[in-house]
C-alpha cells in the first residue's frame, strides 16, 4: 500500500563522486586522492532522504536517465523509503553527475557538475492528486512545473519550502508562493551585495515569507519570523565533509514543520541535523534518525542570539 506523503519534493537527483584531497589542487597539479565515494545526491533528493530518516513519509518528482546511474538513484531512494512513483525515466538520456572535491582539513568542498541530458519535468506530467494529503512541498528551482505545484500548494494550504538553485532575479516569481525560504549565505550575498545576511532574512520575511532563513555554514543560521530575528549557532561536531549539510537542514526543518513546533525549536532541531550530517564523507552518510538527534540535543546545548 502506498502511503500518503507528508512531504513532496520536486528537483534534482544526482550521483555524486566524492574525493578527499589534502588541499584544493593548483592548476596543472597531479594530486593523489585520500578517499573516494560514490553516493546519490541532489538538493531535493537529499532533503527528502533527510526527512525520511527522521520519520516523515516523502515522495520525489524528478527525471533520471535510463542509464546505470539512473537505476542507482532509484534503488537508493527506494531503500531510504522515498516514494519514487514520479521518478520519471527518459529513454536515451543520461542522469545528473557531480564531482565533489572535499578538503581534508576543513571539510569544505568544491563541486563540478555534468547536468542531465533529459528534459525538465513539464506541468502536463503532474496532477493535483500526486500530492494529495501532503503538508509540505519542497522546490529547488523555478520551472513551469514548480510554479504550478507551488500555486496548487498555496491553494491547498500546503507549506512551500524553497532551497534556491537560481539567483533572486530568476526565482522571484516563485518566491512569492514560498512560505519558508531557506537560502545559503552565498545566495544572500549575490542578491544584496555588501548587505549583512540578517538584512536578507528580514527582507525575505517582509516580502511575505512566514519564516525566512539564511544558513551560514559553520556559523549556524539566521531566522526571521513574527517574533523577531535570531541567530542559531551550529552544533559542535568533528567536521569530515560539509557536503549535504544544507540539504540535511532543509529536510530537518520540513520534518519540524510537520511536528507543529515553535520556530526556535524548529531552528535548533534543523541546526542539529545539519551539523550531525558533517561527521562523515558524503551528503547522506551521517544523516541521523530522530532518536539520534534527540539524544545529541540533550547532551549538547546551544544558545540563540536575539538580533531584533
Three-state secondary structure string covering 240-303:
CCCCCHHHHHHHHHHHHHHHCCCHHHHHHHHHHHHHHHHHCCCCCCCCCCHHHHHHHHHHCCCC
Its pTM stands at 0.92
List the beta bridge partners of residue 110. Answer: 101
Q: How many CB atoms lie within 10 A of CB 33?
A: 13
- Of the candidate CATH numbers 3.40.1190.20, 3.40.50.10140, 1.20.1250.20, 3.40.50.460, the domain formed by 7-13+43-95+123-306 belongs to 3.40.1190.20
Residue at grid coordinates 520519471: 88
Per-residue pLDDT of the chain (308 residues; tens, 9 = 90+): 567 899 999 998 999 998 999 998 888 989 898 889 899 999 999 999 999 999 999 999 999 999 999 999 999 999 999 999 999 999 999 999 999 898 888 888 888 999 899 899 999 999 998 888 999 999 999 999 999 999 999 999 999 999 998 999 999 999 999 999 999 999 999 999 999 999 999 999 999 999 999 999 989 999 999 999 999 999 999 888 888 899 999 999 999 999 999 999 999 999 999 999 999 888 788 899 999 999 999 998 877 776 65
Q: How many CB atoms lie within 10 A of CB 259?
A: 13
Amino acid at each position: 500500500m502506498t502511503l500518503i506523503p507528508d512531504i513532496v519534493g520536486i528537483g534534482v537527483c544526482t550521483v555524486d563522486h566524492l574525493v578527499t584531497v589534502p588541499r584544493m589542487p593548483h592548476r596543472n597539479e597531479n594530486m593523489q586522492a585520500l578517499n573516494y565515494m560514490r553516493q546519490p545526491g541532489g538538493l531535493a533528493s537529499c532533503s527528502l532522504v533527510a526527512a525520511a530518516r527522521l520519520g516523515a513519509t516523502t515522495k520525489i518528482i524528478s527525471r533520471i536517465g535510463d542509464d546505470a546511474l539512473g537505476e542507482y538513484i532509484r534503488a537508493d531512494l527506494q531503500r531510504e523509503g522515498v516514494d519514487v512513483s514520479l521518478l520519471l525515466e527518459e529513454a536515451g538520456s543520461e542522469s545528473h553527475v557531480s564531482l565533489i572535491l572535499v578538503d581534508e582539513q576543513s571539510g569544505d568542498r568544491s563541486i563540478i557538475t555534468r547536468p542531465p541530458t533529459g528534459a525538465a519535468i513539464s506541468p502536463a506530467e503532474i496532477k493535483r492528486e500526486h500530492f494529495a494529503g501532503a503538508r509540505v512541498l519542497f522546490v529547488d528551482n523555478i520551472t513551469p512545473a514548480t510554479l504550478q505545484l507551488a500555486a496548487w500548494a498555496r491553494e491547498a494550504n500546503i507549506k512551500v519550502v524553497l532551497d534556491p538553485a537560481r539567483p533572486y532575479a530568476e526565482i522571484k516569481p516563485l518566491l512569492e508562493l514560498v512560505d519558508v525560504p531557506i537560502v545559503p549565505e552565498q545566495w544572500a550575498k549575490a542578491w544584496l551585495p555588501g548587505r549583512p545576511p540578517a538584512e536578507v532574512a528580514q527582507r525575505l520575511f517582509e516580502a511575505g515569507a512566514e519564516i525566512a532563513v539564511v544558513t551560514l555554514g559553520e556559523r549556524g543560521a539566521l531566522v526571521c519570523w513574527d517574533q523577531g530575528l535570531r541567530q542559531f549557532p551550529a552544533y559542535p561536531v568533528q567536521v569530515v565533509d560539509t557536503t549535504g549539510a544544507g540539504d540535511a537542514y532543509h529536510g530537518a526543518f520540513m520534518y519540524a514543520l510537520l511536528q507543529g513546533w515553535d520556530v526556535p525549536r524548529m531552528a535548533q532541531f534543523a541546526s542539529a541535523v545539519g551539523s550531525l550530517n558533517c561527521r562523515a564523507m558524503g551528503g547522506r552518510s551521517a544523516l541521523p534518525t530522530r532518536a539520534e538527534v534527540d539524544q545529541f540535543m540533550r547532551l549538547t546545548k546551544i544558545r540563540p542570539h536575539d538580533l531584533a
